Amino acid sequence: MKYRTDIACSLGLLAGTTLGSGIAFLFGWQAYRALTSVTVFGIAGIIITIAVFRLLHRKSLSTSNS
């Protein structure tokens, strides 16, 4: 399976914004707080997912070379 950065970005953005909007809904935040929450969690989701995909890619390369 190929691990690509564009897939990681899209999955991270989807997961992060979904989590951010859920947290904003639970806390009852309106306008700027909700927008900030969605933005912060979206960016964090992208960064985390890219890191995980790169780690999985390295692991798959090391097992295929052995």
Rounded Cα gap, residues 62 and 15, in angstroms? 28
3-state secondary structure of 50: helix
Please name the residues in contact with 16: beta carbons below 8 A apart, sequence gap of 6 or more. 41, 42, 43, 44, 45, 46, 48
Give residue 54's pLDDT. 86
Better-scored residue on pLDDT, 54 or 20: 20
Residue type, 7: I
- What residues does each domain of the chain span? 5-65
Give residue 5's pLDDT. 78
Give residue 4's pLDDT. 75
Over residues 21-65, the pLDDT tens digits come to 999 999 999 999 999 999 999 999 999 998 988 888 888 777 777
The helices-and-strands tally (H runs, E runs) of the chain is 2, 0
